[in-house]
Amino acid sequence: MAKKHTIADEHIIENLDTLKIIADPTRLEVMRTLKKPRTVKEVSELMDTDPTKLYYHVRQLEKHGLIRVVETNIVSGIIEKTYQVVAHRFRVEESLIAATEMTDENMEALFGTIFEVTKAEIKRSVQVGLMDPADTSKPQHHGVGKGSFYFTAAQAAVFYQKVEALMKECEEEAGHQEDDPTRAPYSFLFAFYPLHRPE
Q: Would you list the domain boundaries of the chain?
A: 8-139
Contacts of 165 (CB under 8 A, 6+ apart): none
Q: What is the pLDDT of residue 1?
A: 45
Give the mean pLDDT of the chain.
83
**The CATH number fitting domain 8-139, selected from 3.40.50.300, 1.10.3470.10, 3.40.50.620, 1.10.10.10:** 1.10.10.10
Query: Tell me: the pLDDT tens digits for 8-56?
Result: 888 888 888 888 888 787 888 899 899 899 999 999 999 889 999 999 9
Kindly tell me if the per-residue pLDDT of 65 is higher than 50. yes
Q: What is the pLDDT of residue 2?
A: 47
Q: What is the pLDDT of residue 130?
A: 81
* Among candidate residues 122, 101, 97, the one with its CA nearest the CA of residue 189: 122
| φ, ψ for residue 186, nearest 5 deg | -125, 155
Kindly tell me if the per-residue pLDDT of 166 is higher than 80. yes
Kindly tell me if the per-residue pLDDT of 169 is higher than 50. yes
Q: What is the pLDDT of residue 199?
A: 63
What's the predicted TM-score (pTM) here? 0.64
Query: Tell me: the pLDDT tens digits for 103-141?
Result: 777 777 777 777 777 777 788 788 878 887 777 777 777
* Mean pLDDT calculated for residue range 55-80: 92
Q: What is the pLDDT of residue 3?
A: 58
Contact 30, 58 (CB under 8 A): yes
Q: What is the pLDDT of residue 24?
A: 81
User: d(Cα 67, Cα 60) in Å, to the nearest integer?
Assistant: 9
Contact 163, 192 (CB under 8 A): yes
